[in-house]
Amino acid sequence: MSAEPITFIGVDLAWSARNRSGAAVVRGDERGGALADATLLGDDGEIVAYIAEQAGGGPAIVAVDAPLRVPNEQGRRPGEAEIGRAFGRYQAGAHPANRRRLAVDGVVRGEALVAALEQMGFTHQPCVAAGARVRQVVEVFPHPAMIALFGLQCTLKYKAKPNRSREQRLAEWRRYQEHLSALSRADPPLRDQAALTAEEVAALRGRRLKDYEDRVDALMCAYIALYAFRWGMARCRVFGTLADGYIFTPAPEELLDRMTAQAMLR
């Protein structure tokens, strides 16, 4: 087994360059990884420069929470409909992505990021092969991933939403932090996340809380990349297609079993 570590970069990409994006870096291999950095980034150039610096010229998987291919002018992508059917019972459906909603001067931010990374030798592919030492960028979605990885029956309610109290959010934040800490005992294990997950969320408000959320969600994306490298498509699924837009995510065992059974009946 090669001793060269692989870089797993999570990006919680803001839909507008006016807002900061979270980024996190985990380094390791199929035996596990360690959090190396978690930060906030600004415009597209800063994000690309950060990925270039962290990945260097070696193998790396960049997992981005944002639509990376949006061919449809309006409505939603087929992959969002598919993931809604699969994860609706867990309240983990995806927001509709379309060019009317996301494009600025005809450019979708996620697509521009992919184009820049392709110039750096990254391939954009929806499937992740277990153990493949590649340079790849893939679209992910933390909510269904949390269902699978944390064994949840519904999504964690830590984000600011109408009619969601601060007390509820703080309680859900504590659950989120506990689940992230428990990844030290997962397969693959995650190490060195304590400095991030031990933050006293009750002391954070407004922009400071949102900044923390973006960094933590970026860590979740980076762990999805690590998990995908460990298990590949044995424990993950792609909803949609590269041509029409897709979402890659770990999937709970019961869902994998159900989807396998349905495929055998076709």
Query: Cβ-count burial of 170 within 10 angstroms (0-12 exposed, 13-18 middle, 19+ buried)?
Result: middle
The pTM assigned to this predicted structure is 0.95
Distances (CA, A) of 245 to 70, 123, 170, 229, 234: 6, 15, 34, 21, 21
- Tens-digit pLDDT profile for residues 217-236: 999 999 999 999 999 999 99
Percent of the chain with pLDDT over 90: 91
Chain centroid, CA 189 distance in Å: 17
Q: Is the pLDDT of residue 261 over 70?
A: no
Q: What is the per-residue pLDDT across 106-161, written as a single tens digit (0 to 9) for each?
A: 999 999 999 999 999 999 999 999 999 999 999 999 999 999 999 999 999 999 99
CA distance 194 to 62: 22
pLDDT over threshold 60, residue 264? no
pLDDT digits (tens, 9 = 90+) for 61-78: 999 999 999 999 999 999
Phi-psi region of 213 (alpha: psi -120 to 50; beta: other; left: phi over 0): alpha
Left (φ > 0), alpha (ψ -120 to 50) or beta: where does 151 sit? left
Residue 174 has pLDDT above 90, yes or no: yes
The residue among 128, 136, 139, 155 whose CA lies nearest residue 235 is 128
